[in-house]
Amino acid sequence: MAQLRLALNQIDSTVGDLEGNAESVLRWTRHSVEQGAHLVAFPEMMLTGYPVEDLALRASFVEASRASLRSLAGRLAEEGFGEVPVVVGYLDRCEQAQPRYGQPAGAPQNAAAVLHRGEVVLTFAKHHLPNYGVFDEFRYFVPGDTMPVIRVHGVDVALAICEDLWQDGGRVPAARSAGAGLLLSINASPYERDKDDTRLDLVRKRAQEAGCTTAYLAMIGGQDELVFDGDSIVVDRDGGVIARAPQFEQGCVVLDLDLPAAAAEPVTGVVDDGLRIERRVVSAEPLAPYEPEVTGSEAPRLEDDEEIYTALVVGLRAYAAKNGFRSVLIGLSGGIDSALTAALACDALGAENVYGISMPSRYSSEHSKDDAAELAVRTGLHLRSVPIGPMFDAYMESLGLTGLAEENLQSRLRGTLLMAVSNQEGHIVLAPGNKSELAVGYSTLYGDSVGAYGPIKDVYKTYVFRLAKWRNRAAAERGHTPPIPESSITKPPSAELRPGQVDTDSLPDYDVLDRVLKRYVDRDLGAAEIIAEGFDAATVHRILAMTDRAEYKRRQYPPGTKISPKGFGKDRRLPITSAWRES
């Protein structure tokens, strides 16, 4: 047996910020080396950020990534960390043409490198490319065809990149065939509700298949609609958990692993899935065990509501920070959607950076104004009131609108007003629409749907209530003031665009609506299958027709944090112009 002190850096990176990301690698390598690490790892595409989308198609960006990698190798050595191998993800290109994938020479690759003694000693590309959900890596990348193995202090470490673990075959069985003592996978795995359990099961299963200890290093942070929740995992060859990092927290997991010593006669040649073993020896001599030994720990897990709420906070914070904004602006109606959005914003950016505007019209109830004011008092956000009556009257005088046009005008005036204040004061506008509304198109185009980011666009209305209650309960348990006024939670949802209007005038009860939507949107079931589950046929047809009709509206909605297996974003790509009707 040999001992290896492994440092898994569960950190954030910013798409396109090659310099800043390289600085992070240097900083965290310093930290890892100070902890005595023999092998230091960083997440998938750490240098470029993930996902880079069509930036991968730009040769200038690919070249900049390659140059940045080489320069990083040199800087690590200059800083005195050259003896410690560093595994880091980056964007590369393939030297040879790949007719099998229809790609000419120079096609991009989702790659990783081992840096040692100032050199890039080994590079390899992801073998299995994900091409479903939010991923379309076959659009960009050519898969790798090697099985990289590095010998570090007498241990053979097989390397893999994210999806390599998710699909059968390839690098997991190849690691076993290559006789690896450790399988190290670097990842950028976007958050989804319940995915942590799936990942844990996956890593345990793959460790057993690979027949060796398996380390799964995850990224944290946010990129547009995606959140990366961390939760790095190390399991032994029987699938027993050795260490689990905290969810949503940046940090470095350092632990000593007792691993089988590498064979004197290493396996070479082509193994599973046609993967050619490519080996490098970075340090052959086994080290004496370190004292004291660093053992793994399992960070406590967040319960489901807290986990989802935290993902929403992280997604919003990342979007604002990475796009250069410190403050946000929200129309506060006193209702639950804008209240939850405001609570999230206060948690993400601090109440001092959250600006609310109450914009009452002649149809606004007293409680809508009072509840907005109460929200401001409870959270400490800035609130002002700008009645829209005079603007509304001016439009009506010029245009003489009636019915829906008159109703929507109020929402549009609020949208225009928010964008005007955004321009003037520099806060980005948050769109407070939820997933149920987005599904059926229950919002006004260029009205309440304006904004830069939709923090709750992947949260069904029934879950909006649940999260609001959880947030209030969590505050009370910590001895803090619950942020959301009780009456915002208990009153019937209303758009207040005409006297006495409530959402259920136009929509089925949210409980039924959400259950049907989960089947149609999240699971892609057809009308017949949903009705067969016992739902009222007329209600199902109505909901499906509304959902289909609203595609054009969704396409114009701002991006927002994905928390479900199928959010309205890159996950769900439907034609706007379509004659197909389920009903």
Ligand X SMILES: Nc1ncnc2c1ncn2[C@@H]1O[C@H](COP(=O)(O)OP(=O)(O)OP(=O)(O)O)[C@@H](O)[C@H]1O
Nearer residue to ligand GLN within complex by CB, 132 or 580: 132
Residues 165 and 172: beta-carbon distance below 8 Å: yes
130 binds ligand GLN (CB under 6 A): yes
Residue 444 binds what, of ligand DND, ligand X, ligand GLN, none (CB under 5 to 8 Å, by partner type)? ligand DND
Cis preceding-peptide flag for 292 (omega within 30 of 0): yes
188 binds ligand GLN (CB under 6 A): yes
358 binds ligand X (CB under 6 A): yes
Q: Which long-range contacts (CB under 8 A, 24 or more apart) does 567-570 make?
A: 567/225, 567/435, 567/457, 567/458, 568/435, 568/438, 568/439, 568/457, 568/458, 568/521, 569/134, 569/225, 569/458, 570/133, 570/134, 570/136, 570/225
**Nearest-approach distance from CB 408 to ligand DND, in angstroms:** 5
Residue list for the binding site for ATP? 331-338
Residues 207 and 192: beta-carbon distance below 8 Å: no
Binder among 307, 448, 514, 571 for ligand DND (CB under 6 A): 448
Distance CA 259, CA 2 (A): 5
Look up 119 and say whether it is catalytic: no
Part in contact with ligand X (CB under 6 A); list of ranges 121-129, 186-194, 358-366, 399-407: 358-366
Please give the sequence-ordered ranges of beta strands (E in DSSP) within 327-370, or none if there are none: 328-331, 354-358
Beta-carbon contacts of 391 under 8 Å, excluding residues fewer than 6 positions away, are 413, 417
Question: Of residues 92-121, which lie at the interface with ligand X (CB under 6 A)?
Answer: none
Binder among 156, 163, 337, 437 for ligand GLN (CB under 6 A): 163
Residue nearest to ligand X (CB): 335
Residue 332 binds what, of ligand DND, ligand GLN, ligand X, none (CB under 5 to 8 Å, by partner type)? ligand X
What does each C-alpha distance from 352 to 316, 341, 342, 345 come to in angstroms? 16, 15, 12, 10
Binder among 24, 29, 109, 189 for ligand GLN (CB under 6 A): 189
Residue list for the binding site? 132, 189, 195, 331-338, 408, 437, 553
Part in contact with ligand X (CB under 6 A); list of ranges 229-237, 357-365, 395-403, 465-473: 357-365
Residue 189 binds what, of ligand DND, ligand GLN, ligand X, none (CB under 5 to 8 Å, by partner type)? ligand GLN
Amino acid at 238: D
Residue 338 binds what, of ligand GLN, ligand X, ligand DND, none (CB under 5 to 8 Å, by partner type)? ligand X
Looking up tokens 């590498």, which residue turns up?
Answer: 262
CA nearest to 482, candidates 498, 471, 493, 492: 471
Specify the DSSP element, H or E, that contains 83: none
Residue list for the binding site for deamido-NAD(+)? 408, 437, 553
Which of 19, 23, 63, 126 does the annotation list as catalytic?
A: 126
Residue 327 binds what, of ligand GLN, ligand X, ligand DND, none (CB under 5 to 8 Å, by partner type)? none
Look up 293 and say whether it is catalytic: no
Nearer residue to ligand X within complex by CB, 307 or 496: 496
Please give the sequence-ordered ranges of beta strands (E in DSSP) within 273-420, or none if there are none: 276-283, 328-331, 354-358, 382-385
**Nearest-approach distance from CB 438 to ligand X, in angstroms:** 10
166 binds ligand GLN (CB under 6 A): yes
Nearer residue to ligand X within complex by CB, 148 or 455: 455
Which of 83, 95, 119, 162 does the annotation list as catalytic?
A: 162
Look up 162 and say whether it is catalytic: yes
Residue 130 binds what, of ligand GLN, ligand DND, ligand X, none (CB under 5 to 8 Å, by partner type)? ligand GLN
Going residue by residue from 377 to 406, which x/- string records binding to ligand DND, judged by CB under 6 A?
---------------------------x--
State the number of binding residues for ligand DND (CB under 6 A): 17
Distance CA 374, CA 483 (A): 9
414 binds ligand X (CB under 6 A): yes
Specify the DSSP element, H or E, that contains 165: helix 163-166
DSSP 5-25: EEEEEE----TT-HHHHHHHH
496 binds ligand X (CB under 6 A): yes
Residue 445 binds what, of ligand GLN, ligand DND, ligand X, none (CB under 5 to 8 Å, by partner type)? ligand DND
Residue nearest to ligand GLN (CB): 189
Q: What is the 3-state secondary structure (H, E, C) of 234-266?
A: EECCCCCEEEECCECCCEEEEEEEEECCCCCCC
Amino acid at 491: K
Nearer residue to ligand X within complex by CB, 491 or 541: 491
Residue list for the binding site for L-glutamine? 132, 189, 195
CA nearest to 413, candidates 428, 397, 393, 427: 393
Joined together, the tokens standing for residue 539 give: 């209600």
Nearer residue to ligand X within complex by CB, 191 or 465: 465
Beta-carbon contacts of 94 under 8 Å, excluding residues fewer than 6 positions away, are 103, 105, 106, 107, 108, 109, 125, 142
Binder among 368, 408, 462, 472 for ligand X (CB under 6 A): 368
Distance CA 354, CA 341 (A): 10
Binding site for ligand GLN (CB under 6 A): 44, 130, 135, 162-163, 166, 188-190
